[in-house]
């Protein structure tokens, strides 16, 4: 769980969010303060009214004045409130877009350490908690303080003795805050963490809904989700409890001081030390203090809530991201790419090395197949070429240049990548096909559809390319998903095509057709395939046999069959049976 940020850090972050909106904040604040100041004049007008009443003077002018004050105060407050709410929404929008931009550029390794559902909760739920703290509570803290100070000064002029009675109340409120506020901060952080857990659990369930149902795990998963919901409720109730304590203590102290002032003031009026009008005015001030004190309580409470959200948002900002500036794309170089690994060592986790000095050189053009037992590190080779991860030692070279020295956008623009599980995104077929090449023309789209044997599928669908494929392409078959993924990669016109077991789910006819496509692509593009079928492997120009994070042998099928025992064994069992 993310620890709550300490108040100065949180306050600094809150100021940073509010800074771009200082103009509107000032306007909203001025309008709200104007409303408060006009309100402040009301007790004075009322005092004058009582004074006139006791001296039998005409009241019409003062009544009209009072009404005008009420109307002006209400208008200013309403305008101030609107301007502040609008600014609050702008702050939330800015926080969200900043967070979204960050999340999309996070390193793959960083995202793997988190739960996507929790990241989603931070963008959707935590940011809303900034709404109040960056605007209303800042202005409330400001106007609340001004009003309290203004009232206290005016009250001091009216009666110092009565003011000292009131001061005791204000000090008591401040002391109770110091005790209550950290509790609100802690409970909010826990509540938001529970919301994050709920997001993670939901994402987990919806991501594998068929497996959940087939495993009869609905009730277990439901209990898990309900537990997170319970925790969020529990912490929310704690926030409400401590919020109520803070609010009531402020209200109660004003009430008690009202009674005390009534008692002490009554005695002073009786003894002639002060007059009735002053006492009434003072009491009205005291009542009037209720509102700004409430504002202060609310502001401090929201600061605690906001600081809890800020610590969770800040934690994402602190995660390692890919270089943003490098992402500007240059004109791609023509021709096919050459790939080389030089003594590459890599571990997903420090204690679990995957590559132990992988070295190979693949010239530009042609097809290279990677084979080897499961877990040998074949797919990892592709991840390192795409720079999803960086080697702990050694070099990955594309066209003789270290991939770390390539601008990331250029590197990835040169590569077409078909992942092992051929992901298809929710949306239409067209969106999926043009995902890596949004500028592709109709002719280019139809050309890849023909090459990947998707034409028949499109013709069959009533909506053709505009057919919606469902969440993760759930409305397509496994083989169709793979062909869509391959078509997507081809539309990018890559200089290097990485196919991770791309043919494993195809039927015999389509696999044969796809082999032709790959052979065709390999004549102009470097193609690397993590292959499991002998039929794919035998057409490769070279085969790299990997075992336990090392390159064990390299050569053609006929060479390897005779010189490499592992390859001969793989070819005789796994490949042949699958071919
Ligand atoms: P297969 O043929 O089964 O796909 P492979 O040779 O492609 O296997 P890799 O996917 O490269 O193997 O994985 C190599 C090792 O790294 C495996 O032991 C795997 O458990 C581990 N591994 C793979 N991806 C990750 C990851 N993202 N985080 C941590 N470990 C991983």
Q: pLDDT, tens digit, for every residue of 135-180?
A: 777 777 877 888 888 888 888 888 888 888 878 766 776 777 778 8
Q: Is 375 in the pocket of ligand 1 (CB under 6 A)?
A: yes
Q: Is 383 in the pocket of ligand 1 (CB under 6 A)?
A: no
Of 41-45, 265-269, 326-330, 478-482, minimum mean pLDDT range: 326-330
Q: Is 307 exposed, middle or buried (0-12, 13-18, 19+ CB in 10 A)?
A: buried
In the reported structure, the alpha carbon of residue 347 is separated from the centroid of ligand 1 by a whole-number distance in angstroms of: 10
Q: Is 470 in the pocket of ligand 1 (CB under 6 A)?
A: no
Quick check: helix, strand or coil at residue 446?
Answer: helix
In the reported structure, the alpha carbon of residue 380 is separated from the centroid of ligand 1 by a whole-number distance in angstroms of: 6
Q: Is 177 exposed, middle or buried (0-12, 13-18, 19+ CB in 10 A)?
A: buried
Tokens of 492: 């990018």
Cα(267)–Cα(109) distance, rounded to whole angstroms? 74
Q: Is 478 in the pocket of ligand 1 (CB under 6 A)?
A: no
The pLDDT of residue 149 is 85
Cα(469)–Cα(474) distance, rounded to whole angstroms? 6
DSSP-derived pairing of the beta strands 393-398 and 401-402: antiparallel
Confidence label for 367 from pLDDT (cuts 50, 70 and 90): very high
Cα(310)–Cα(289) distance, rounded to whole angstroms? 31
Q: Say if residue 362's pLDDT is above 50.
A: yes
The pLDDT of residue 169 is 67
Cα(475)–Cα(558) distance, rounded to whole angstroms? 42
381 contacts 417 by C-beta, under 8 angstroms = no
Query: Can you give 8-47 as a three-state secondary structure string?
Result: HHHHHHHHHHHHHHHHHHHHHHHHHHHHHHHHHHHHHHHH
The pLDDT of residue 526 is 94
Residues 6+ apart with CB under 8 A from 48: 62
106 contacts 321 by C-beta, under 8 angstroms = yes
CATH number of the domain that residue 445 is part of: 3.40.50.300
Is the model more confident about 366 or about 421? Answer: 366
Which of 79-83, 276-280, 341-345, 371-375 is most confident?
341-345
Q: Say if residue 351's pLDDT is above 90.
A: no
Cα(126)–Cα(98) distance, rounded to whole angstroms? 13
540 contacts 527 by C-beta, under 8 angstroms = no
| pLDDT per position as a tens digit, 190-220 | 888 888 888 888 888 888 888 889 888 899 9
Tokens of 79: 């305008």
What atom of ligand 1 comes closest to residue 376's alpha carbon?
6
Domain end among 460, 493, 526: 493
Is the model more confident about 320 or about 171? Answer: 320
What integer is the mean pLDDT of 231-258?
Answer: 83
Q: Is 379 in the pocket of ligand 1 (CB under 6 A)?
A: yes
In a domain, 511, yes or no: no
Residue 398: φ, ψ to 5°: -120, 125
Are 284 and 149 members of one domain?
Answer: yes
Cα(17)–Cα(12) distance, rounded to whole angstroms? 9
Mutation pick for ligand 1 pocket among 344, 348, 391, 420 (CB with most ligand atoms within 8 Å): 348
What atom of ligand 1 comes closest to residue 109's alpha carbon?
27
Q: Is 354 in the pocket of ligand 1 (CB under 6 A)?
A: yes
Question: How distant is the alpha carbon of residue 447 from its chain centre?
Answer: 38
What atom of ligand 1 comes closest to residue 383's alpha carbon?
11
The pLDDT of residue 574 is 61
The pLDDT of residue 295 is 79
Query: Can you give 465-485 as a three-state secondary structure string?
Result: HHCECCHHHCCCCHHHHHHHH
Confidence label for 578 from pLDDT (cuts 50, 70 and 90): very low
Confidence label for 375 from pLDDT (cuts 50, 70 and 90): confident
Which of 134-138, 228-232, 248-252, 379-383 is most confident?
379-383
The pLDDT of residue 352 is 84
Domain end among 298, 317, 336: 317
Q: Say if residue 503's pLDDT is above 60.
A: no
The pLDDT of residue 326 is 53
Q: Is 108 in the pocket of ligand 1 (CB under 6 A)?
A: no
Q: Is 378 in the pocket of ligand 1 (CB under 6 A)?
A: yes
Name the residue at shortest CA distance from atom 15 of ligand 1.
375
In a domain, 534, yes or no: no
Is the model more confident about 280 or about 507? Answer: 280
Q: Say if residue 451's pLDDT is above 70.
A: yes
Buried b (16+ CB within 10 A) or exposed e, 61-70: ebeeebeebe
List of E strands, 472-525: 496-500
Q: Is 113 in the pocket of ligand 1 (CB under 6 A)?
A: no
How far from each other are the two terminal CA atoms of the chain, in whole angstroms? 49
The per-residue DSSP string of 46-91 comes to HHHHHHHHHTT---HHHHHHHHHHHHHHHHHHHHHHHHHHHHHHHH
Q: Is 271 in the pocket of ligand 1 (CB under 6 A)?
A: no
What integer is the mean pLDDT of 424-433?
Answer: 86
Q: Is 176 in the pocket of ligand 1 (CB under 6 A)?
A: no
What integer is the mean pLDDT of 375-403?
Answer: 93
Is the model more confident about 59 or about 372? Answer: 372
Mutation pick for ligand 1 pocket among 354, 498, 547 (CB with most ligand atoms within 8 Å): 354
In a domain, 86, yes or no: yes
CATH number of the domain that residue 271 is part of: 1.20.1560.10
In the reported structure, the alpha carbon of residue 200 is separated from the centroid of ligand 1 by a whole-number distance in angstroms of: 23
Q: Say if residue 502's pLDDT is above 60.
A: no
The per-residue DSSP string of 179-214 comes to HHHHHHHHHHHHHHHHHHHHHHHHHHHHHTHHHHHH
In the reported structure, the alpha carbon of residue 555 is separated from the centroid of ligand 1 by a whole-number distance in angstroms of: 24
| pLDDT per position as a tens digit, 76-94 | 988 988 898 888 899 889 9
Domain end among 292, 317, 342: 317
Name the residue at shortest CA distance from atom 26 of ligand 1.
348
In a domain, 181, yes or no: yes
The pLDDT of residue 6 is 65
Are 138 and 282 members of one domain?
Answer: yes
Neighbours of 228 (CB within 10 A): 19
Least Cα distance to 198 among 222, 225, 220 occurs for 225
What integer is the mean pLDDT of 396-421?
Answer: 90
Name the residue at shortest CA distance from atom 18 of ligand 1.
375
* Percent of the chain predicted with pLDDT > 90: 17
Of 163-177, 292-306, 356-370, minimum mean pLDDT range: 163-177
What integer is the mean pLDDT of 449-463?
Answer: 85
Q: Is 348 in the pocket of ligand 1 (CB under 6 A)?
A: yes
In which domain, by residue range, is 18 found?
Answer: 7-317
Q: Is 504 in the pocket of ligand 1 (CB under 6 A)?
A: no
Tokens of 329: 């794309």
> In the chain, helix, strand, coil percent, each to 5?
65, 10, 20
418 contacts 485 by C-beta, under 8 angstroms = yes
In a domain, 526, yes or no: no
In a domain, 556, yes or no: no
Q: Is 365 exposed, middle or buried (0-12, 13-18, 19+ CB in 10 A)?
A: middle
In a domain, 503, yes or no: no
Neighbours of 521 (CB within 10 A): 22
Cα distances (Å, whole numbers) of residue 337 to 413, 491, 518: 12, 17, 16
Cα(28)–Cα(76) distance, rounded to whole angstroms? 9
- Angle CA 24–29–32, to nearest 5: 125
Q: Number of structural domains, the chain?
A: 2
| pLDDT per position as a tens digit, 511-533 | 777 777 788 888 889 999 998 77
The pLDDT of residue 360 is 94
Averaged pLDDT of the chain: 84
102 contacts 70 by C-beta, under 8 angstroms = no
What integer is the mean pLDDT of 302-319?
Answer: 86
Q: Say if residue 121's pLDDT is above 90.
A: no
Q: Is 112 in the pocket of ligand 1 (CB under 6 A)?
A: yes
Neighbours of 492 (CB within 10 A): 21
The pLDDT of residue 93 is 92
Name the residue at shortest CA distance from atom 31 of ligand 1.
348
Q: Is 287 in the pocket of ligand 1 (CB under 6 A)?
A: no
In a domain, 176, yes or no: yes
What atom of ligand 1 comes closest to residue 377's alpha carbon?
11
In the reported structure, the alpha carbon of residue 391 is separated from the centroid of ligand 1 by a whole-number distance in angstroms of: 15
In the reported structure, the alpha carbon of residue 388 is separated from the centroid of ligand 1 by a whole-number distance in angstroms of: 14
184 contacts 239 by C-beta, under 8 angstroms = yes
């Amino acid at each position: 769980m993310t620890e709550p940020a300490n108040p100065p850090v949180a306050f600094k972050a809150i100021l940073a969010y509010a800074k771009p909106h200082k103009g509107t904040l000032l306007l909203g604040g001025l309008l709200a303060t104007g409303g408060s100041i006009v309100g402040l004049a009301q007790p004075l007008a009322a005092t004058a009214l009582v004074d006139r009443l006791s001296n039998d003077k005409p009241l019409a002018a003062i009544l009209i004045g009072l009404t005008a004050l009420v109307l002006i105060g209400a208008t200013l407050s309403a305008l101030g409130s609107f301007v502040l709410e609008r600014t609050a929404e702008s702050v939330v929008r800015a926080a969200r877009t900043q967070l979204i931009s960050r999340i999309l550029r996070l390193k793959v390794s960083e995202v793997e350490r988190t739960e996507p559902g929790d990241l989603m909760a931070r963008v959707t739920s935590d940011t809303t908690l900034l709404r109040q703290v960056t605007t209303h509570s800042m202005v409330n803290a400001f106007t609340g303080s001004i009003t309290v100070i203004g009232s206290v000064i005016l009250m001091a002029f009216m009666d110092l003795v009565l003011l000292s009675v009131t001061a005791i109340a204000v000090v008591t409120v401040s002391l109770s805050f110091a005790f209550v506020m950290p509790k609100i901060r802690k409970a909010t952080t826990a509540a938001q963490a529970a919301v994050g857990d709920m997001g993670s659990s939901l994402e987990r369930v919806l991501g594998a809904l068929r497996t959940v149902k087939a495993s009869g795990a609905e009730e277990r998963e439901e209990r898990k989700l309900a537990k997170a919901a319970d925790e969020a409720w529990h912490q929310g109730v704690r926030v409400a409890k401590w919020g109520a304590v803070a609010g009531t203590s402020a209200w109660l102290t004003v009430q008690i001081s009202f009674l005390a002032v009534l008692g002490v003031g009554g005695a002073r009026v009786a003894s002639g030390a002060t007059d009735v009008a002053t006492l009434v005015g003072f009491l009205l001030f005291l009542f009037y203090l209720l509102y700004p004190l409430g504002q202060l309580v609310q502001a401090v409470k929201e600061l605690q809530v906001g600081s809890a959200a800020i610590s969770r948002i800040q934690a994402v900002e602190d995660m390692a991201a890919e270089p943003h500036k490098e992402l500007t794309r240059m004109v791609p170089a023509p021709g096919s790419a050459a790939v080389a690994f030089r003594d590459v060592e890599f571990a997903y986790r420090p204690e679990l090395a995957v590559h132990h000095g992988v070295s190979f050189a693949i010239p530009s053009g042609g097809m290279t197949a990677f084979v080897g037992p499961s877990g040998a590190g074949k797919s990892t080779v592709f991840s390192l070429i795409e720079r999803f991860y960086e080697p702990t030692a050694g070099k990955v070279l594309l066209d003789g240049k270290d991939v770390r020295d390539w601008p990331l956008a250029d590197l990835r623009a040169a590569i077409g990548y078909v992942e092992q599980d051929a992901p298809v995104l929710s949306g239409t077929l067209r969106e999926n096909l043009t995902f890596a090449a949004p500028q592709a023309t109709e002719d280019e789209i139809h050309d890849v559809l023909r090459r990947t044997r998707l034409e028949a599928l499109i013709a069959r669908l009533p909506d053709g390319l505009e057919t919606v494929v469902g969440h993760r392409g759930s409305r397509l078959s496994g083989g169709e998903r793979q062909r869509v993924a391959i078509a997507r990669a081809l539309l990018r016109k890559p200089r290097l095509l990485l196919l991770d077991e791309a043919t494993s789910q195809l039927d015999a006819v389509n696999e044969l057709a796809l082999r032709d496509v790959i052979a065709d692509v390999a004549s102009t593009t470097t193609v690397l395939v993590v292959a499991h079928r002998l039929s794919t492997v035998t057409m490769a120009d070279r085969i790299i046999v990997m075992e336990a994070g090392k390159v064990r042998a390299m050569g053609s099928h006929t060479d390897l069959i005779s010189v490499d025992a592992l390859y001969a064994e793989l070819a005789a069992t796994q490949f042949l049976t699958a071919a």
